[in-house]
């Protein structure tokens, strides 16, 4: 298991992207209007504009993703549902304190 992604959703994506460019002393790996990704040596830092949640998509809230060997097995074991998304197969669940956790 590994940290695969840290996703930060914000009302001020351009400012947050510029902040992390300075912190990491690196340009984003990819950038689009309202978002960017940075390579953290095998993990991804995703900066994304906060938006309305879309039915069938994960909520637009801060979360981290854990890379697991078998998404379907882990999701089943934890009572979550694995689905295919544009970026690959993932499952989402809530920790006891309400934090969103992605399995990928």
* pLDDT of amino acid 55: 87
Q: How many independent structural domains does the chain possess?
A: 1
Dihedrals phi, psi of 58, to nearest 5 degrees: -65, 155
Average pLDDT on 43-57 reads 92
Residue 96: both structure tokens together: 């006891």
Model confidence at 27: pLDDT above 90: yes
Residue with tokens 């993703």: 65
Model confidence at 7: pLDDT above 90: yes
* Per-residue pLDDT reduced to its tens digit, 62-89: 999 999 999 999 999 999 999 999 889 9
Domain range enclosing 97: 2-103
Percentage of the chain surpassing pLDDT 90?
Answer: 88
Question: Can you give the CATH number for the domain in which 56 is found?
Answer: 3.10.180.10
């Amino acid at each position: 298991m590994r940290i695969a992604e840290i996703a930060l959703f914000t009302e001020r994506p351009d400012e947050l992207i510029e902040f992390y460019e300075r912190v990491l002393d690196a340009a984003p790996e990819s950038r689009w209007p309202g978002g960017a990704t940075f390579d953290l040596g095998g993990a991804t830092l995703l900066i994304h504009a906060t938006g309305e949640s879309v039915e069938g998509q994960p909520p637009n809230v801060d979360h981290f993703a854990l890379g697991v060997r078998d998404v379907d097995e882990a999701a089943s074991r934890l009572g979550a549902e694995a689905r295919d998304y544009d970026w690959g197969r993932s499952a989402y669940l809530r920790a006891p304190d309400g934090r969103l956790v992605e399995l990928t």
